[in-house]
Amino acid sequence: MNKFFERRYVVTGIFIVIIITLLARLFYIQIVDDRYTLYANSNVRRTQIVYPARGPILDRKGRVLVQNEPIYDVNVNPKEVRAFDTVAFCKMLGIDKAGFDKRLAKAIKYSPNKESPFEKQLPVEMYAALQEKLFEFPGFYVQPRTVRAYPDSVAAQFLGFIGEATPRDIKRSNGYYRLGDYIGVTGVEKSYEEVLRGQRGVKVQMVDSRGIPKGSYANGALDTVARSGERLTSSLDIEIQKLGEKLMKDKLGSIVAIEPSTGEILCYVSSPTYDPNLMVGRERGNNSAKMYNDPYKPFFTRPIQAYYPPGSSFKPLSALVALQEGLITPQTTYNCPGYYMAGNVKVKCTHVHGVVNLSNAIAGSCNGFFDMVFEKLMNARGPRNTTPSFVDWRNKVNKFGLGAKLGVDIPNEGRGNVPTALHYDNIYHPGRWRSSTIISLAIGQGELEATPMQLANIECTIANHGFFYKPHLIKGIGDKDIIKDEYTQKNYVGIDPQYFEPVIDGMQNVVEGNNGYATARRSRIPGIIMCGKTGTAQNPHGKNHSLFVAYAPRENPKIAIAVVVENSGDGGNYAAPIASFIVEKYLKGMITKRESGITVDEFANMNLLPDLALYQHDLQRERRRDSIRAVKADSIKKFKADSMKKATQLKSAKNNKPGSWGNLFAGRGKGK
């Protein structure tokens, strides 16, 4: 009997332990561990990211440059994929079985349990056909998105393009971006990414066992609304932008036009350009590959990245510096015999100008006059004290925005080049170079280089009689005109306003003059006084570059412009007429008949692209030269470092030699 009771208690105890264990496990599952809740919920609801539309971009008059159109991505969650008719699925997406396997393997590699992109940017028509049968393909879902569309297909380098976020982008964003998200890659799309992208939302849906949506979960209590990106109003004028791209067709070069009174960029042409719509859609990869391999480099943003010697367009700046220093006056004359003697070097001039003053020298582009001006600047402290005079000259040139980034609100801006005294010390040795050594800088050649944006900015400075506003491309965000403080501040260049008039007189005569040396006379605009300067930039790859800078009208200027046409020769022949068409179109809204007979169609139909074989050969040769220069520079640095090291070692050994004066005095010091 006792043994029976003992067994009963044991059995009862076992059952009690089992019940307690089950209750504890149930408590843990329902209260402590939320995994099972999540698993259960995932069977009845699906969380979907709602991507906002990127903000549109408008021109200065509210005309659309960039808008959005709907597309659809197909995502896959590998763990939910079940057997289905892959042939039918592939046919609907326009892919083959090998492509299907490759995409699925990539998704599994990313994560077997997470949703990731499978096929991107399906058009509306393809999505409509797929949506009807999507329930037949378990594990696959459609993600609505928007992509960019460009109604007028202009300003590609200014606008830039968007692309998929890279792992580096995702890391930098601290997890904001995910695999398959789009992000601004170049241009304004990149500069203003945080403004344009908006804020993502979340939509939670109830789904049945086949994954078909059955409405919002909990009446939308868990949903968040996506907020579209802000609208950007740019400073571009789409009409002159179109005209500029038309004029630069089949040419290499750039057009930059700026409003002097604000710094707003009116025209931003980089040629060759491309249709920005090619960077959208399922053929984007193939299109971009072709353009990356194009030897004329359509992705190269010439307005802010291409470096050119400013040539004769630099002469007005040089004159202003000399006037401010009191080294010349507007009445200073020079008798030009067709050349200039810089020490023992004979420097050719463009013509035999005879006796010229400042204004005539600018109008006739007299190299001799400005060689004389430059030597006065370099010899201001005496012919043997070139270095301090050069450093002072360089600082004054820097104030005009050369040799430094202007701070344009677009990525990858170049700084151009104004050589340093150290550069010449490394080549000629300290104290061994003179004004005659660097005389090519007098006429904007040699190592002096500028971007088209910098050249246009100098014209703004001249138009404003001594200051400029930083150039910028965006003037409004959303419904407000929002401009950064740095774009509203005047940047003074240190030249008194009184010195600009004689320089401007010369620039007016470049276009309007009747003295026989007006190098841009055939670009005169009826009823508008345009002040400009032609330039011919030396080019190691072939024909010289045609260059022209100007502003108009002379009183109350509305537009400043720089035009560079590569491999085309003199500035007056190609760059000046193109600039005059842009200026007249902006100021008048039309282009009138010219006295010279030049027309828009004449220049638009010119093909000035360099011969491709020669162009590639010259580029390769220049790259080899750059490599040789780099090696030589490294060798010089290493040689100097080794020489300094040896000299130090020799000096140390001499001082430590027994019986040397250094050792003798050292011994006496210790004896005390």
Task: Give the Cα separation of 569 and 582 in Å (integer).
Answer: 20
| pLDDT classification of 369: cutoffs 50, 70, 90 | very high
pLDDT (0 to 100) of residue 642: 54
Q: Does residue 524 sit within a domain?
A: yes
| pLDDT classification of 661: cutoffs 50, 70, 90 | very low
- pLDDT exceeds cutoff 70 at 90: yes
Last residue of a domain, one of 234, 268, 290: 234
Residue found by looking up tokens 């057997």 in the block:
83
pLDDT (0 to 100) of residue 518: 80
- pLDDT exceeds cutoff 80 at 659: no
pLDDT (0 to 100) of residue 663: 34
Taking residues 392-420, what's their average pLDDT? Answer: 95
- pLDDT exceeds cutoff 70 at 584: yes
Q: Half-sphere exposure (CA, 13 Å, Cβ side) for 312?
A: 30
Residue found by looking up tokens 């791209």 in the block:
245
Helix (H, G, I), strand (E, B) or coil at 268: strand
Q: Which residue has the higher pLDDT, 43 or 136?
A: 136
Task: Give the Cα separation of 369 and 375 in Å (integer).
Answer: 10
Taking residues 298-305, what's their average pLDDT? Answer: 96
pLDDT (0 to 100) of residue 515: 61
What are 202's strand-pairing partners? 49, 224
pLDDT (0 to 100) of residue 29: 64
Task: Give the Cα separation of 449 and 460 in Å (integer).
Answer: 18
- When the pLDDT of each residue in the chain is averaged and rounded to a whole number, the result is 86
Longest dimension (CA), the chain: 142
* C-beta of residue 452 within 8 angstroms of C-beta of residue 306: yes
Last residue of a domain, one of 189, 205, 234: 234
Q: Do 448 and 473 sit in the same domain of this protein?
A: yes
Q: Which residue has the higher pLDDT, 632 or 290?
A: 290
Give the per-residue SS3 of 413-456: CCCCECCCHHHHHHHHCCCCCCCCCCHHHHHCCCCCEECHHHHH
Task: Give the Cα separation of 32 and 428 in Å (integer).
Answer: 79
Tell me the CATH number at 256.
Answer: 3.40.710.10
Last residue of a domain, one of 171, 204, 234: 234
Taking residues 228-235, what's their average pLDDT? Answer: 93
Taking residues 182-193, what's their average pLDDT? Answer: 93
- pLDDT exceeds cutoff 70 at 359: yes
Tokens of 46: 């699906």
Q: Do 208 and 243 sit in the same domain of this protein?
A: no
Residues near 666 by beta carbon (within 8 Å), at least 6 away in sequence: none
Residues near 530 by beta carbon (within 8 Å), at least 6 away in sequence: 508, 511, 512, 523, 524, 550, 551, 552, 553, 554, 580, 583
pLDDT (0 to 100) of residue 624: 59
Q: Does residue 635 sit within a domain?
A: yes
Nearest CA among 492, 506, 515 for reference residue 373: 506
Q: Are strands 232-234 and 57-58 parallel, antiparallel or unpaired?
A: parallel
Q: Does residue 496 sit within a domain?
A: yes
| pLDDT classification of 214: cutoffs 50, 70, 90 | low
Helix (H, G, I), strand (E, B) or coil at 270: strand
* C-beta of residue 302 within 8 angstroms of C-beta of residue 454: no
| pLDDT classification of 662: cutoffs 50, 70, 90 | very low
Q: Do 570 and 528 sit in the same domain of this protein?
A: yes
pLDDT (0 to 100) of residue 2: 57
Helix (H, G, I), strand (E, B) or coil at 603: helix
Taking residues 179-201, what's their average pLDDT? Answer: 90
DSSP secondary structure, 111-170, as one string = -SSS-EEEEEEE-HHHHHHHHHHGGGSTTEEEEEEEEEE-TT---HHHH--EEEPPHHHH
The number of domains in the chain is: 3
Q: Do 265 and 349 sit in the same domain of this protein?
A: yes
pLDDT (0 to 100) of residue 605: 95
Q: Do 529 and 600 sit in the same domain of this protein?
A: yes
Q: Do 131 and 159 sit in the same domain of this protein?
A: yes
Residue found by looking up tokens 């719509």 in the block:
277
Secondary structure element (H or E) that encloses residue 563, with its range: strand 559-565
pLDDT, tens digit, 9 for 90 and up, residues 3-39: 555 677 777 778 788 888 888 777 766 665 555 554 4
Q: Do 180 and 200 sit in the same domain of this protein?
A: yes
Q: Does residue 10 sit within a domain?
A: no
pLDDT (0 to 100) of residue 34: 54
Q: Does residue 1 sit within a domain?
A: no
Taking residues 209-219, what's their average pLDDT? Answer: 64
* C-beta of residue 115 within 8 angstroms of C-beta of residue 143: no
- pLDDT exceeds cutoff 60 at 462: yes
Task: Give the Cα separation of 513 and 503 in Å (integer).
Answer: 14
pTM score, two decimals?
Answer: 0.82
Dihedrals φ, ψ of 540, to 5°? -70, -10
pLDDT (0 to 100) of residue 665: 29
Q: Do 142 and 271 sit in the same domain of this protein?
A: no
Q: Does residue 8 sit within a domain?
A: no
Q: Do 347 and 229 sit in the same domain of this protein?
A: no
DSSP secondary structure, 167-194, as one string = HHHHHHTTTSS-TT-EEE-SHHHHHTHH
Distances in Å between the Cα of 532 and the Cα atoms of 145, 320, 457, 550, 567 are: 49, 15, 13, 4, 21
Distances in Å between the Cα of 267 and the Cα atoms of 59, 256, 278 are: 11, 5, 22
Q: Does residue 122 sit within a domain?
A: yes
pLDDT (0 to 100) of residue 309: 94
First to last CA, the chain: 114
pLDDT (0 to 100) of residue 344: 85
Q: Half-sphere exposure (CA, 13 Å, Cβ side) for 107?
A: 24
Query: String of b and e for 195-209 (b: at least 16 CB within 10 Å)?
Result: bbbbeeeebbbebee
The CB density around residue 128, as the number of other CB atoms within 10 Å, is: 11
pLDDT (0 to 100) of residue 574: 94
Q: Do 448 and 591 sit in the same domain of this protein?
A: yes
pLDDT (0 to 100) of residue 658: 41
Residue found by looking up tokens 């549109």 in the block:
56
pLDDT (0 to 100) of residue 672: 32
Q: Does residue 79 sit within a domain?
A: yes
Q: Do 424 and 297 sit in the same domain of this protein?
A: yes
Tokens of 433: 């170079």
Nearest CA among 586, 439, 479, 456 for reference residue 532: 456
What domain range includes position 143? 48-234
Tell me the CATH number at 82.
Answer: 3.90.1310.10
pLDDT, tens digit, 9 for 90 and up, residues 107-136: 998 888 888 889 888 888 888 888 888 888
pLDDT (0 to 100) of residue 207: 67
Nearest CA among 608, 588, 592, 483 for reference residue 545: 608
- pLDDT exceeds cutoff 50 at 362: yes
pLDDT, tens digit, 9 for 90 and up, residues 472-502: 999 999 887 777 888 999 999 999 999 999 9
Distances in Å between the Cα of 93 and the Cα atoms of 73, 120, 212, 479, 552 are: 11, 10, 20, 41, 56
Distances in Å between the Cα of 45 and the Cα atoms of 75, 143, 208 are: 17, 16, 8
Q: Do 632 and 658 sit in the same domain of this protein?
A: yes
